Amino acid sequence: MRSEWVCRVVRLAVTAALLSACGAAEYVDPWDFDHYTGGRSSYGRQPQCVDIPLDLRLCYGVGYSRMLLPNLLEHETMDEVKQQASSWVPLVHKNCHPDTQIFLCALFAPVCLDRPIYPCRWLCEAVRDGCIPIMQVFGYPWPEMLTCDKFPQGEVCISMSAANGTEGTPTGLPPVCPPCDNDMEGDAVLEHLCASEFAFKAKIKEVKTVNMDRKVILQKKKKMLKQGNLTKGDLKNLVLYLRNGADCPCQQLDNLKSQYLIMGRKVDEQYLLTGIHKWDKSTEFKKTIKKVKSYKCPAFANVFK
């Protein structure tokens, strides 16, 4: 799939070069694809071709090794790219659409060409429609910076085909409730912690179904790992909701005897469950918990707005 993606970009580059040779209009707006000539960006800095660093986890190994900086989201430094891109890694891991990584990396780490090639509008719409249900579970809207009508509809844009040769289609919510992913280990646990405002160790007292949500009532005793803005009063009567989780499986909520790492965030006046992981005795889990205090999280509030 990756080689197909690179070949697709090369074909687009040839087309773009032909268009430029025919006399494209002067560059006006960073989102106005038809007016881009490959000159300076709207923020005044000439794009440079640089290596994709190993710690740009969203896009390292995506199928090419060098990217343009500033990128197509107007991030001027690699530190800014890494900080903003890291916020999206958990979404890619949720497999809400097969082309989520390709779409995001086309913007965060655009391949080095004579002129930028934007994702096609249909690709944006497909990824958006597939991933919005997942993002809503965590209380995040589709961000304004990725509004799909900003993207081109013509042939000179990034479109990605699935391995079977057909266009990728939205998958929506996975069989397991997103916060209840049983495969969440190591870095994935840290990513969920970063996407959450608070985290603690606790047992579950009771689980109820309320409309399309699940209401999770906790036992009073809690060991805090990340308190966020929670006060002692908030903690005493804290109730979490698994948004749109009435029907999707969550093994952790079926077992009220175990202790869990429970993560959440406040959205409006409701506290949402964003992650739940069995508090096990494995070496990897113990190492992960030790990392929590020193782990530097990206500023999600700057991305999902």
- Region 292-297 average pLDDT: 77
The residues pairing with 161 across neighbouring beta strands, listed in sequence order, are: 167
The pLDDT of residue 214: 94
Residue 299's pLDDT is what?
Answer: 59
Residue 35 banded pLDDT, cuts 50, 70, 90: very low
Question: What value, to the nearest 5°, has the Cα angle with vertex 212 and ends 210 and 216?
Answer: 50
- 27 versus 245: the higher-pLDDT residue is 245
> pLDDT tens digit string along 92-139?
888 889 999 999 999 999 999 888 899 999 999 999 999 998 888 888
Q: What is the pLDDT of residue 24?
A: 33
Highest-confidence range of 13-17, 114-118, 173-177, by mean pLDDT? Answer: 114-118
Please, which pLDDT band fits residue 302 given cuts at 50, 70 and 90?
very low
* Model pLDDT, residue 184: 62
Asked if residues 178 and 191 have their Cβ atoms less than 8 Å apart, the reply is no
pLDDT band (50, 70, 90) for residue 47:
confident
Choose among 139, 143, 134: nearest CA to 94: 134
Higher pLDDT, 94 or 162: 94
Residue type, 241: Y
**What DSSP string runs through 148-210?**
GGGS--SSSSB--B-TTSSBP----S-SS-GGG-TT--THHHHHHHHTSSEEEEEEEEEEEEE
pLDDT at position 209 is: 94
Instruction: List pLDDT tens digits, range 208-223.
Output: 999 999 999 999 899 9
Q: How confident is the model over 141-150, as pLDDT tens digits? A: 999 989 999 9
Residue 35 DSSP class: G
Whole-angstrom distance, CA of residue 86 vs CA of residue 91 = 10
Q: How many residues does the chain have?
A: 305
Q: Which has the closest alpha carbon to 170: 212, 134, 120, 117?
A: 134
- Per the listing, tokens 């405002």 go with 197
- Residues 212-241 have a mean pLDDT of 91
Residue 70 CB burial class (10 angstroms; 0-12, 13-18, ≥19): buried
Q: What is the identity of the amino acid at 32?
A: D
Residue 272 CA, chain-centre distance (Å), reads 18
Nearest-angstrom CA–CA distance, 27 and 35:
5
Statement: residue 48 has pLDDT above 70:
yes
- Average confidence (pLDDT) over 243-266: 90
Residue with the two structure tokens 């469950």: 273
What's the whole-number mean pLDDT along residues 161-166?
Answer: 43
Structure token pair of residue 5: 């993606």
The residues facing 198 across adjacent strands are 264
Which residue type sits at 226? K
Residues 79 and 169: their CA atoms lie apart, in Å, by 33
Question: Between 265 and 295, whose confidence is greater?
Answer: 265
- CA-to-CA distance for 53 and 286, rounded, in angstroms? 28
pLDDT value at residue 59: 95
Structural domains of the chain in order of their starting residue, each with its CATH number: 2-150 (1.10.2000.10), 178-296 (2.40.50.120)
What letter would DSSP give residue 262? E
pTM of the model: 0.71
Q: Give the model's pLDDT for residue 161.
A: 55
ω before 178 within 30° of 0 (cis)?
A: no
Closest CA to 262 of 305, 198, 206: 198
Do 191 and 183 form a contact (C-beta atoms < 8 A)?
no
